[in-house]
Amino acid sequence: MARHWVATRPGGLDVLSFEEYDVPPPQQGEVTVSVRAAGMNPADAKHVARGDPAGFPRAIGYEVAGVVSAVGADTGIGSGPVAVGDEVLAFRISGGWATDVTVAARDVFAKPASLSFGEAAGLLLAGCTASEMLHVTGVGEGDTVLVHGASGSVGVSALQQAALLGARVIGTASAGRSDVVTRFGGVPVAYGDGLEERVRAAAPGGVVAALDCVGTDEAVDVSLALVADRGRIVTIAAPGRAQAAGFPAIAGSMPASQAHRDSVRADLVRLAGEGRLVVPVARTFPLADAREATGLLMSQHPGGKLVLEP
């Protein structure tokens, strides 16, 4: 019998329930994946905490990697033909914190052999989000960009993708995480009192865009002080400040965001397969220990991607 994690109602760790369920057989346009790794993301916890009660119970998890165990009739996946036994990754799905899951085939891609299941399961949500942030702010070759929260999962992907575009990145992080920013090509700057002055010193020519992955008032205030064009500031964590100050906020639930993120999935998988986009996995947990893992995720200091393994 398959098992998956569901949120029985909006709330915290106490609403998570590990339940048996019948995996529906795949219809045309669907495949069933035997999950080897499920990615964890802050959105998993946020959407449980803030969800509409009418949308519960709700299966949790937006991205997985695993092995195809069944294929619907006349069905190919996002990357092409597929067969039982193929190693794949999938995003954007629902119910990924599971032993098995049936999903739309268009959201499934062949897993590069060079990636572990854990790396593959942590690639696309952060990668697609970072890609959209760079796209919305028009980052290109020669630009100097400020990334707030550069040592987190989205920030690390943004560092790497910005470098591939030929941009220079100033990345804010805690002093203890500056080595992560350096590892992925950024210039680390510690957040805290005096941040604006430290960024100015690190980028004497100025910064043309700012990507906010943390949503603090400090991050927004410094971005507004340093970036002349508010259309080149973007946040994924401070929508209220964005609306008030007149700069973009993006979220996966927005149609434009969905369209962009869907369009870049195959390219991000290719880059990861070529070793040009790295997914640092901080820690893995047994699937049955998802509550403990979610507690670490919600602490906002997981140190990298967290992965659940059935």
Under CATH, what is the fold of the domain 126-245? Rossmann fold (3.40.50)
- Within the chain, all domains assigned CATH 3.40.50.720 are found at 126-245
Residue 300's pLDDT band (boundaries 50, 70, 90)? low
- 71-104: per-residue pLDDT in tens? 999 999 999 999 999 999 999 999 999 999 999 9
What is the pLDDT at residue 298?
A: 87
Distance from C-alpha of 155 to C-alpha of 172, rounded to nearest angstrom? 9
What is the pLDDT at residue 172?
A: 98
Whether residue 279 is predicted with pLDDT greater than 80 in this model: the reply is yes
- Within the chain, all domains assigned CATH 3.90.180.10 are found at 2-123+279-309
- Compute the mean pLDDT over every residue in the chain, rounded to the nearest whole number: 96
Total Cβ atoms within 10 A of residue 80: 9
Half-sphere exposure of 218 (CA within 13 A, CB side): 15
Per the CB < 8 A criterion, the answer to whether 227 and 203 are in contact is no
Provide CATH code, domain 2-123+279-309. 3.90.180.10
Tell me the two tokens of residue 304: 């990298």
Single pTM value for the model: 0.96
- 19-76: per-residue pLDDT in tens? 999 999 999 999 999 999 999 999 999 889 887 888 899 999 999 999 999 999 999 9
Residue 150's pLDDT band (boundaries 50, 70, 90)? very high
Whether residue 272 is predicted with pLDDT greater than 80 in this model: the reply is yes
